[in-house]
Amino acid sequence: MRIGYLSLKERQEGEYVQHMAKEASKLGYEFVQFTPFSIQPSTEEIIGWKYIPDTEQWEKTSFEIPNYIYDRCFYSPSIKSKQAKPIVDWLKKRKDITFLGYGLPGKWETYQAISTEESLNPYIPKTKKLLHLAVFFEELRKTRKLVIKPIHGSRGINIYFITLNAYSISVSTQKNKEVVETIFETRDEFFEWLQPIVESKGYLYQSYLDLKTKSHEAFDLRVLLQKNEKGEWYTVGKGIRIGQPNSIISNLSAGSNVQLFDEWITQFSQRTALIIQDEIDTICKKLPLVLEKSFLPLFEIGLDIGIDSNQAVWILDINSKPGRKVLLQTNPSIQNKLYSAPIQYCLHLQSKSKSERSEIK
């Protein structure tokens, strides 16, 4: 059996891939790395990197398309991403290849899918697609604060916090570790800024949530969910991300710190802590099953959860290609479990027939 790690960049996530390759080799499986552009159109042969167990090194060589593919392609508006996606979609349609997870669409389609589930609906912020200036402004006039998010965004990039003040409209966003605020003194000036965003049809907007610590830092909870060697969903771990002072997002790329969830939750009374934990458990239990009713099978989910000033729990973001830094920093002991999980799930997939795999939930 050949297992392939697929990414847009060669030799991406080096340490993670190295450990996965070792785990695969222990079981006698071949492990390779390649990009969508490594596939030769005429022969369908791949020129990529193959792990050599004896030397624990990588050799650039040719090989056939792997039986199982772990897709870690992170797409952006770049030309390279646009060229890669049709190739990956072609691979996903092939009947002789199985992807560990088939990924999720953009935020809008994902929110639509989970909002139909009665048990999850209370945890979903009010969400609408950004299509009309007047409709958005009317909502802003009612609520005074709204958040605009890119449908295909990640790492907190191009998220805008909009506030309607008495005599102006402020727009705040975070670039790296710096918060940038722009003040518009008239509605026309604001509309001129917002118009290209609306015309792109690539954004949605949500209710503003007060997600700050007592010290006024932005924070959220990252939960990693994966399927185990039996194909069953379980919670790998949880970690709190706390932004820098005066930050408006809590992504690690913006310089956030991390804290153990079990430590963080001790600030609440026992009763409140139990209620918060119970609601998080409900989301973690229901969410993967609901997603797989609407979309193709998944292997892992990075779930960002907000807990507001009233201790209400909210689903902020859902990522089918999550990072692991938060968990590794808060709980390094799970490192080996994280490295071996994709290989263990491959074993589960191998034990199923192709028809059974297409039905795996």
Q: What is the DSSP string of 15-54?
A: HHHHHHHHHHHHTT-EEEEE-GGGB-TTT--EEEEEEETT
Q: How many of the other CB atoms lie within 10 Å of CB of 39?
A: 17
Please give the Cα distance from 130 to 139 (Å, whole number): 11
The CA angle 107-113-119, to the nearest 5 degrees, is: 115
Query: For residue 95, what are its two tokens?
Result: 């009947």
Given a contact cutoff of 8 angstroms between Cβ atoms, the answer to whether 33 and 5 are in contact is: yes
- Is-contact 293 307, C-beta < 8 A? no
Query: Would you say 51 and 16 are in contact if contact means Cβ atoms under 8 Å apart?
Result: no
Q: Show the tokens assigned to 118.
A: 């009665």
Show Cβ contacts of residue 67 under 8 Å, excluding neighbours closer than 6 positions: 1, 2, 3, 96, 97, 98
Distance CA 45, CA 264 (A): 50
Phi and psi, residue 353, nearest 5°: -75, 165
What separation in angstroms does the CA of 115 have from each of 131, 238, 303, 339?
Answer: 20, 23, 15, 33
pLDDT of 255 reads 62
The pLDDT value given to residue 174: 82
Per the structure block, which two tokens stand in for 61?
A: 């060589």
337 dihedral zone (left: phi>0; alpha: psi -120 to 50; beta): alpha
Q: Which of 235, 247, 224 is nearest to 329 (CA)?
A: 224
Which pLDDT does position 243 carry in this prediction? 82
Positive or negative, the CA dihedral 85, 91, 92, 98 is negative
Q: Letter for the amino acid at 253? A: S
**CB-facing half-sphere around the CA of 196: CA atoms within 13 A:** 3
Q: d(Cα 88, Cα 73) in Å, to the nearest integer?
A: 9
181 burial via Cβ count (<10 Å: 0-12, 13-18, 19+): exposed
pLDDT of residue 361: 40
Q: Are strands 98-99 and 68-71 parallel, antiparallel or unpaired?
A: parallel
Q: What's the 3-state SS for 92-151?
A: HHCCCCEECCCCCCCHHHHHHHHHCCCCCHHHCCCEEECCCHHHHHHHHHHHCEEEEEEC
Answer for the pair 90, 99: CB distance below 8 angstroms, yes or no: no
Structure tokens at 311: 């201790």
Tell how far CA 230 is from the center of its chain.
23
- Say if residues 4 and 33 touch (Cβ distance below 8 Å): yes
Task: For the full predicted model, state whether its pTM sits above 0.85.
Answer: yes
SS3 282: helix
Which residues, given as ranges, of the chain have pLDDT below 50?
355, 357-358, 360-361
